[in-house]
Amino acid sequence: MMHFSIRQITRPLGRLLLGGLIFGTMPKVWAQTNFSIYSDQLDNGFQDWSWGTHNFSSAAPVHSGNAAISFNGSAWQAISIWHADLNPGSFTNLNFWINGGSAGGQIVQIYFEYGTNSTPAYQLPPLAANTWQHYFIPFVQLGLSGVTNLNRLTFQLTSGGATGPFYLDDLNYTAIPPSPVHLTVDVNQRLRLADARWFGLNTAVWDSYFDTPATATAVAELGTRILRFPGGSLSDEYHWATGKSLNNTWAWGTSFANFIHIATNASSQAIITVNYGSGSAAEAAAWVRHANLTNHLAFKYWEVGNENYGTWETDTNALAHDAYTYAVRAANYIAQMKAADASIKIGVPVTTGENSSINGYTNHPAYNARTGETNYGWTPVLLTTLKSLGVTPDFLVYHFYPEYQSDNDQNLLQASANWANDAADLRQQISDYLGKAGTNVELLCTENNADAGSQGRQSTSLVNGLYLADSLAQLMKTEFNSFIWWDLRNGSDTGGDFNAALYGWRTNGDLGIIGGSNTCYPTFYTFKLMQFFAQPGDTILAAGSDYSLLSAFASRKADGALAVLVINKDNATTFTAQLNLGSFQPGTNALMRSFGIAQDEATRTQSVVAGAQDLATNNVLIAGNVFSAAFPPYSVTLLTIPPASPALEVQIPVSGKCVLQVSGQPGASYVLQRSTDLQTWSSIATNQFTGNTWNFTNDLAAPQIFWRAAWLP
Is residue 691 in some structural domain? yes
From residue 386, give the alpha-carbon distance in Å to each of 310, 330, 359, 368, 390.
19, 8, 19, 15, 6
Task: Say which residue, 501 or 413, is predicted with more confidence.
Answer: 413
Residue 20 binned pLDDT confidence (cut-offs 50, 70, 90): very low
Residue 657 binned pLDDT confidence (cut-offs 50, 70, 90): confident
Residue 32 has pLDDT above 70, yes or no: no
For 128, residues 6+ apart whose C-beta sits below 8 A from its C-beta are: 99, 100, 104
Counting Cβ atoms within 10 Å, is residue 420 exposed (0-12), middle (13-18) or buried (19+)? middle
142: DSSP letter: G
Residue 250 binned pLDDT confidence (cut-offs 50, 70, 90): confident
What b/e readout covers 230-262, taking b as 16+ CB neighbours within 10 angstroms? bbbbbbbbbbbeebbbbeeeeebebbbebbbeb
Task: Say how far apart CA 321 and CA 356 lie, in whole Å.
Answer: 12
Q: For residues 585 and 678, state if they share a domain.
A: no
Mean pLDDT of the chain: 91
pLDDT at residue 411, rounded to an integer: 84
Task: Say which residue, 409 or 702, is predicted with more confidence.
Answer: 409
pLDDT at residue 703, rounded to an integer: 65
- Mean pLDDT over 641-669 rounds to 84
CB 434 within 8 A of CB 441: yes
Is residue 7 in some structural domain? no
Task: Say how far apart CA 432 and CA 698 lie, in whole Å.
Answer: 60
CB 338 within 8 A of CB 264: no
Is residue 308 in some structural domain? yes
Please state which of the ranges 36-40, 118-122, 177-181, 560-564 shows the lowest mean pLDDT: 177-181
Single out the residue of 616, 641, 615 nearest to residue 627, CA to CA: 641
Is residue 5 in some structural domain? no
Is residue 8 in some structural domain? no
pLDDT digits (tens, 9 = 90+) for 354-405: 988 999 999 999 999 999 999 999 999 999 999 999 999 999 999 999 998 8
Domain count within the chain: 4
CB 381 within 8 A of CB 360: no
For 227, residues 6+ apart whose C-beta sits below 8 A from its C-beta are: 200, 201, 202, 203, 219, 259, 262, 263, 266, 268, 269, 270, 271, 488
- Mean pLDDT over 310-325 rounds to 97
Query: Of 602, 625, 641, which residue sits at a domain end?
Result: 641
Q: For residues 524 and 573, state if they share a domain.
A: no
Query: If DSSP codes are grouped into helix, strand and coil, which group holds residue 703?
Result: coil
Please state which of the ranges 339-353, 413-427, 442-456, 675-689 shows the lowest mean pLDDT: 675-689
Residue 302 bridge partners (DSSP): 272, 346
pLDDT at residue 701, rounded to an integer: 59
Residue 239 bridge partners (DSSP): 244
Angle at 663 between CA 657 and CA 665, to 5 degrees: 145
pLDDT digits (tens, 9 = 90+) for 567-582: 999 988 899 999 999 9
Is residue 4 in some structural domain? no
Is residue 1 in some structural domain? no
Single out the residue of 327, 379, 334 nearest to residue 353, CA to CA: 379
Q: For residues 516 and 557, state if they share a domain.
A: no
SS3 letters across 154-185: EEEECCCCCCCCEEEEEEEEEECCCCCEEEEE
Residue 480 binned pLDDT confidence (cut-offs 50, 70, 90): very high
Q: Show the domain range for 64.
A: 35-175
Task: Say how far apart CA 634 and CA 465 lie, in whole Å.
Answer: 10
- What is the signed CA dihedral for 311, 314, 316, 319, rounded to 10 degrees? -20
Residue 224 has pLDDT above 60, yes or no: yes
The amino acid that residue 524 corresponds to is F
pLDDT at residue 207, rounded to an integer: 95
Task: Say how far apart CA 497 and CA 463 lie, in whole Å.
Answer: 14
Task: Say how far apart CA 469 and CA 525 lie, in whole Å.
Answer: 10
Neighbours of 33 (CB within 10 A): 11
Please state which of the ranges 28-32, 140-144, 329-333 shows the lowest mean pLDDT: 28-32
For 689, residues 6+ apart whose C-beta sits below 8 A from its C-beta are: 560, 664, 665, 666, 667, 668, 669, 670
Task: Say how far apart CA 309 and CA 315 lie, in whole Å.
Answer: 10
* Pairing of the two strands 166-175 and 35-38: antiparallel
- β strands within 60-138, DSSP E: 68-71, 78-86, 91-99, 108-114, 117-118, 122-123, 132-138
Report which secondary-structure segment, H or E, holds 639.
strand 635-641
Dihedral-angle region of residue 601 (phi above 0 means left; psi in -120 to 50 means alpha; beta otherwise): alpha
Is residue 6 in some structural domain? no
Residue 240 binned pLDDT confidence (cut-offs 50, 70, 90): very high
- What is the signed CA dihedral for 233, 239, 244, 248, rounded to 10 degrees? -110
Give the CATH number, domain containing residue 256: 3.20.20.80
Q: For residues 637 and 660, state if they share a domain.
A: no
Q: For residues 633 and 670, state if they share a domain.
A: no
From residue 659, give the alpha-carbon distance in Å to each of 653, 705, 707.
7, 14, 12
Query: Of 140, 175, 210, which residue sits at a domain end?
Result: 175
φ, ψ at 419 (rounded to 5°): -60, -40
Q: For residues 651 and 629, state if they share a domain.
A: no
294: DSSP letter: I
Residue 452 has pLDDT above 60, yes or no: yes
From residue 221, give the alpha-carbon distance in Å to each of 188, 225, 516, 520, 638.
32, 11, 17, 12, 17
Residue 493 has pLDDT above 50, yes or no: yes
Residue 81 bridge partners (DSSP): 48, 153
pLDDT at residue 702, rounded to an integer: 61
Give the CATH number, domain containing residue 660: 2.60.40
From residue 204, give the alpha-carbon distance in Å to each of 70, 229, 684.
42, 6, 50
Q: For residues 653 and 636, state if they share a domain.
A: no
Task: Say how far apart CA 70 and CA 62 lie, in whole Å.
Answer: 10
Residue 157 bridge partners (DSSP): 108
pLDDT digits (tens, 9 = 90+) for 70-103: 999 999 999 999 999 999 888 889 999 999 999 9
CB 482 within 8 A of CB 198: yes
Single out the residue of 237, 230, 227, 234 nearest to residue 197, CA to CA: 227
pLDDT at residue 90, rounded to an integer: 82
Q: For residues 90 and 136, state if they share a domain.
A: yes
CB 427 within 8 A of CB 377: no
pLDDT at residue 647, rounded to an integer: 87
Q: For residues 139 and 252, state if they share a domain.
A: no
Task: Say how far apart CA 522 and CA 359 lie, in whole Å.
Answer: 37
For 192, residues 6+ apart whose C-beta sits below 8 A from its C-beta are: 476, 477, 479, 539, 540
Residue 11 binned pLDDT confidence (cut-offs 50, 70, 90): very low
Q: For residues 69 and 114, state if they share a domain.
A: yes
Residue 691 binned pLDDT confidence (cut-offs 50, 70, 90): confident
Report which secondary-structure segment, H or E, holds 601.
helix 597-604
Q: For residues 528 and 588, state if they share a domain.
A: no
Percent of the chain with pLDDT over 90: 76
Task: Say how far apart CA 448 and CA 397 lie, in whole Å.
Answer: 11
Query: Of 533, 565, 592, which residue sits at a domain end?
Result: 533
Task: Say how far apart CA 472 and CA 488 lie, in whole Å.
Answer: 16
Give the CATH number, domain containing residue 591: 2.60.40.1180
Q: For residues 276 and 134, state if they share a domain.
A: no
